[in-house]
Amino acid sequence: MCEMREVTAEDLLKSSKEVADKVEPWESGSFTFVKKLEDAARNHGRVDDMMSGTRYQAAVAVKKMPNSWVASGPDEFAKKHPSECECPWRNIGLMAELKKKGFHATCQLLDVFRDEHYTYAVSEMATGGDLFSWCLSRQDPTPEREAEMLPLIAQTFSAVEWLHALGIAHRDLSLENILLTGAAQSVKIIDFGMVYLGRTCPPASTLGPGKPSYQAPELHNKREYDGFLADAFSLGVVVYAMALGNYPWQSTKPGRSRIFDWVFCHGITTFLQRREIASFFSPELLEVMTALLQPRPADRLGLAKAPGGEESVPFGIAGGSLRRPRKANGGISPAHQLAQWHQSQSRQMLKRLAQVTQRLQKTMPQSLQAWLALVDAGALRFGKVLAGATRSNFRGLLSSQPCLLACARAARRNSGCAALHEPWSTRESVLANRLLS
């Protein structure tokens, strides 16, 4: 019977210590090396496919990590590496805890061994490889590819929904961390070294949890974020990569990827409506990707039911469902507030913006790109202050870029719209970097 009580920090620490206390001596003669599976870069080691006829009946995956990194247990590791977001004992302890909970959508931890130099974590082998290999073995985007990937997506959604129900934010979901096993291609989620117990995660470090292509953009804002919605964004990248065989962008950090900067400015819907995407896939799959890849977490859909019991919104994939997150400000999201404000201001301001653009094209072509970037990245958000300034002395304003940024900030302070009082968003950070570079 599966226990659905959330995993607590005390549970995780207890399981980690139990495993650390039961570490056995590594007997190399009992294992036969088959092949290297992958590097475990963040753990300074590697994962190998190995056989042990005397102890296990099938091939196993062995993660080999130096003792200087792993330490003797979770307490010593925390003392040696207090700022690390990757923790091998968190991964080991959570695998043990998930086994107690009856969570079957992972490769079960079997044993942990140690010799003089290395620690070896032995787990079940996923015989079908990871989703990255699955993508490489498929042809170009086709409806047949979509039909083949849908059951895998459904299983992945179900597994992540289960993790969230247990209070676990994975924070490192990727093609490489989702494995397939058996003739039925059962999905297994691995690598729990970056998990956080709880929905509200602390500000991300410089490297942040997860891989650059998969990181939700709010991780770069240096403040608390919703770990479950960040997982949903990572799943959106997984679905996109499975469908098209490529990543949508290389990074979500401001200024690192022109593609993502464009998506943040223009929206994911426009990006996914490109002919090379929309012509191959069903509207339902495109809707799933659109829902998961929303740059702003307030607009993004998460897995499972909200804590208040809000109903799920199905998207036509059996075994997986999506829901709209709860909104702040009386049920209206900040993004919706902003859209309403845009609509009320747009007619008069667009006329003024067009006049300024024409004037710059004739008199200050060197500043035109900066102005277009401002308009493109959401000049309407900065309101009447910018538009009012352009009527009299916009030439001087643009010639001094810090003044332009100061004017933008003044517009935020003076506006009566609640959405404009939020901290700087990724889009605004991108704009500021462009204007001050």
Number of domains in the chain: 3
- CB under 8 Å, gap of 24 or more: what pairs does 79-88 form? 83/205, 85/194, 85/204, 85/205, 85/207, 85/208, 85/209, 86/42, 86/43, 86/193, 86/194, 87/193, 87/194, 88/43, 88/119, 88/121, 88/193
In terms of domains, do 287 and 405 share one?
Answer: no
In terms of domains, do 60 and 185 share one?
Answer: no
In terms of domains, do 89 and 172 share one?
Answer: no
In terms of domains, do 100 and 228 share one?
Answer: no
Segments in the chain below pLDDT 70? 1-4, 304-437
pLDDT (0 to 100) of residue 53: 75
pLDDT (0 to 100) of residue 348: 47
Can you read off the two tokens belonging to residue 108? 């079960």
In terms of domains, do 152 and 299 share one?
Answer: yes
Asked if the structure places residue 13 within a domain, the reply is yes
C-alpha angle 262-263-264 in degrees, rounded to nearest 5: 90
pLDDT (0 to 100) of residue 434: 44
**pTM, 2 dp:** 0.71
Asked if the structure places residue 328 within a domain, the reply is no
Backbone angles phi, psi at 309, to 5 degrees: 90, 15
In terms of domains, do 311 and 395 share one?
Answer: no
pLDDT, one tens digit per residue, over 371-406 is: 554 544 444 334 333 444 433 344 444 343 343 444
Residues 212 and 116: their CA atoms lie apart, in Å, by 35
In terms of domains, do 35 and 73 share one?
Answer: yes
Can you give the residue range of the structural domain that contains 371?
334-436
Give 306's Cβ-side CA count (13 Å radius).
12
Backbone angles phi, psi at 226, to 5 degrees: -85, 110
Q: H or E stretch including 302?
A: strand 302-303
pLDDT, one tens digit per residue, over 89-105 is: 999 999 999 999 999 99
In terms of domains, do 311 and 361 share one?
Answer: no
pLDDT (0 to 100) of residue 140: 78
Picking from 323, 344, 379, the residue at the C-terminal end of a domain is: 323
In terms of domains, do 26 and 104 share one?
Answer: yes
pLDDT (0 to 100) of residue 423: 42
- The CATH number assigned to the domain holding 185 equals 1.10.510.10
Can you read off the two tokens belonging to residue 8? 């607590």
Instruction: List beta partners, residue 32.
Output: 51
- Residue tagged 């003739």 (tokens): 183
Picking from 323, 355, 387, the residue at the C-terminal end of a domain is: 323
Picking from 107, 124, 141, the residue at the C-terminal end of a domain is: 124
Backbone angles phi, psi at 186, to 5 degrees: -75, 140
